Amino acid sequence: MLAIANFRFYHSTALGSGILFAYPQLATITGVQGVVVYAVSSAAPLLIFAWLGPIIRSKCPGGFVLTEWTRQRYGVVAALYISFLSMATMFLYMVAELSALQQIMTALTGMDGLPMVIVQCVVATIYTSLGGFKISFITDNIQGAMVVCLIIIATITIGVKTDIDTSLIDSSGLTQASLLGWQLLYILPVAVLTNDFFLSNFWIRAFASKTDKDLWIGISIAAVVVLIILTLIGCTGLIAVWSGALGPDDIESSGSIAFFLLLERLPAWVVGIVLVMVVSLSTAAFDSFQSAMVSMGSNDLFRNKLNIWFIRAAVVLLIVPVIILALKAPSILQIYLISDLFSASSIPVLILGLSDRFYWWRGFEVVVGGLGGIITVFIFGTIYYGNAQAGADLILLEGGLYANDWSVFGAFVAAPVGGLLWGFGAFVVRIAFQFIFAKITGRHFGALDRPAYLNRRVMGAPEYADSDEIHADTSAGLVTVDHKGKFF
């Protein structure tokens, strides 16, 4: 039963209605190669939670999200930085979800999708405020069932009602490898893997597992099922092109609605069922983001000292700009990629602290490295295009993923590599400053001292504690630990 519960944990984010746009769209551009790479890149990172979840949980037994370990390991400033990025990620995912719902309503019914978006926000806000994460877990069950039913119905009806024009298969070129397809072998694993770290509802579910074995079983099942589901959804883009539902000249402008162009050829009752399921799917994903935002705002920003209803009210107010941006949002995939680029710059410098060998790594390096990675993307873009404005646009991936050059690939190389280089540069500056300060003041230079949990093996000493943070009274047999993360 717990394994099945863990299987649900992925539905609340990755299997929102936005997947009905992003995966078929990628298929129309990069073909079979893109479908396989995107599906594997989305499913495989789940296994990271089964591996890192127990490690972080052992280092931070009292935590329930990644930011708790960040606060313990790196201090308040770094924790707030990661919290901000996590909340910004969920904000963008909320925008993508509402944008997807609005486009789905327009594509399937021809009606304005705004009323449905508003109704969804109101309904999700009411039951989430009353039930919190408990009700979110319940809707995850509904969401999982809807995904399975949607896939079964769509697969059967498309298989029966859709005629493939075999002459379009070869002429489309979608069975052949492409430059972008090869680039995606690097871009998507980096993008999806690092971005998953910012999704707090992933960590909440990972921390909630009773045993590590249950976590592994549940996530393994989830990874396989998600791989199958996303592959099937991606294939609808291929079928749309090969059946003539999407013409070769319309791929660039209408590739994102390939799935719905395919549905237009199906009976009306199928479209109606799919519409109901999609709305349920979108609502379940949206309420998970809301719940996670409330949880992070209460815990990370106010340390649970502010009445939860004030936090919920703030999240409700935040929905207003979410709706506005959703109505004007560009490609759903582009929204995801903007978030991915920021995560790719910050996560590599963050997770170095999980290794005992990097006990000297501090929050200063994490923050400088994360921001430096974005600056590196700007520098790369400016050099690559020879234009500072184009370099700034690359940060927001204004050209989308489907650029016929190396700009996007270079951006996703520049973000993590630049982040690490800036981080190590910040480390050198910090060490030099602390060394000079110690010489001037005559104090001990302890920036590179091994922490107590490694040096003295003091029972109860947290991983972030330095030697001078352990206060031992040997006569009384007491050891006290100053619970304070290290930023410098």
pLDDT of 104 > 50? The answer is yes
pLDDT of 345 > 80? The answer is yes
Partnered with residue 41 across adjacent β-strands are none
Only one residue has tokens 């709706």, namely 323
pLDDT of 374 > 70? The answer is yes
Q: Does residue 331 contact residue 256 with C-beta atoms inside 8 Å?
A: yes
Partnered with residue 470 across adjacent β-strands are 481
Task: Give the pLDDT of residue 18.
Answer: 76
pLDDT of 348 > 90? The answer is yes
Q: What is the pLDDT of residues 12-31, one digit of tens each?
A: 345 677 788 888 988 998 99
Is residue 279 in a domain?
Answer: yes
Length of the chain (residues):
488
User: Are 317 and 342 within one domain?
Assistant: no
CATH of the domain at 277: 1.20.1730.10
Most confident of 174-188, 371-385, 454-468: 371-385
- For the chain, give the mean pLDDT: 81
| Span 38-66, average pLDDT | 81
Domain count for the chain, please give it.
2
Name the burial class of residue 208, with classes exposed (0-12), middle (13-18) and buried (19+) by CB atoms within 10 angstroms of its CB. Answer: middle
Task: Give the pLDDT of residue 467.
Answer: 36
Q: What is the pLDDT of residues 28-38, one digit of tens each?
A: 989 999 999 98
User: Are 7 and 102 within one domain?
Assistant: yes
Task: Give the pLDDT of residue 148.
Answer: 77
Domain span at residue 369?
333-448
User: Are 304 and 342 within one domain?
Assistant: no
User: Are 280 and 351 within one domain?
Assistant: no
Task: Quote the tokens at residue 358.
Answer: 């990097």
* Residue type present at position 432: A
Q: What is the pLDDT of residues 233-291, one digit of tens each?
A: 999 999 999 998 888 877 777 777 888 888 887 888 888 888 887 887 788 788 888 88
pLDDT of 461 > 70? The answer is no
User: Are 361 and 323 within one domain?
Assistant: no
Residue 485 and residue 225: Cα distance in Å, rounded?
39
Q: Does residue 79 contact residue 71 with C-beta atoms inside 8 Å?
A: yes
User: Are 428 and 367 within one domain?
Assistant: yes
User: Are 302 and 385 within one domain?
Assistant: no
Helix axes 76-109, 268-296, angle to 10 degrees: 160
Task: Give the pLDDT of residue 478.
Answer: 40
| Span 338-352, average pLDDT | 93
User: Are 424 and 315 within one domain?
Assistant: no
pLDDT of 471 > 80? The answer is no
Task: Give the pLDDT of residue 381.
Answer: 94
Q: What is the pLDDT of residues 215-227, one digit of tens each?
A: 888 888 888 888 9
Q: What is the pLDDT of residues 171-211, one digit of tens each?
A: 888 999 888 889 989 998 898 889 888 877 677 777 777 78
Task: Give the pLDDT of residue 15.
Answer: 62
- Higher pLDDT: 71 or 281? It is 71
Residue 42 and residue 39: Cα distance in Å, rounded?
5
Only one residue has tokens 């190590």, namely 424
Q: Does residue 7 contact residue 158 with C-beta atoms inside 8 Å?
A: no
User: Are 429 and 305 within one domain?
Assistant: no
Q: Which helix (H) or strand (E) holds 301?
A: none
Residue 132: closest CA among 294, 361, 372: 294
- Higher pLDDT: 81 or 457? It is 81
Rg (CA), the chain: 24
Task: Give the pLDDT of residue 351.
Answer: 93
The answer to which of 210-219, 302-311, 473-482 has the lowest mean pLDDT is: 473-482
Q: Which of 297, 328, 359 is the last residue of a domain?
A: 328
- Higher pLDDT: 286 or 427? It is 427
CA distances from 187 to 24, 170, 191, 232, 347 (A): 18, 27, 6, 21, 15
| Span 135-146, average pLDDT | 70
pLDDT band at 475 (very low <50, low <70, confident <90, very high): very low
User: Are 181 and 293 within one domain?
Assistant: yes
Is residue 454 in a domain?
Answer: no
Q: What is the pLDDT of residues 382-419, one digit of tens each?
A: 999 999 999 999 998 877 776 678 999 999 999 999 99
In the three-class reduction of DSSP (H, G, I as helix; E, B as strand; rest coil), residue 205 is classed as helix
Work out the widest C-alpha separation in the chain, in whole angstroms: 87
Task: Give the pLDDT of residue 476.
Answer: 41
| Span 295-314, average pLDDT | 85
User: Are 113 and 172 within one domain?
Assistant: yes
Q: Which of 289, 312, 328 is the last residue of a domain?
A: 328
Task: Give the pLDDT of residue 427.
Answer: 96
Task: Give the pLDDT of residue 4.
Answer: 32
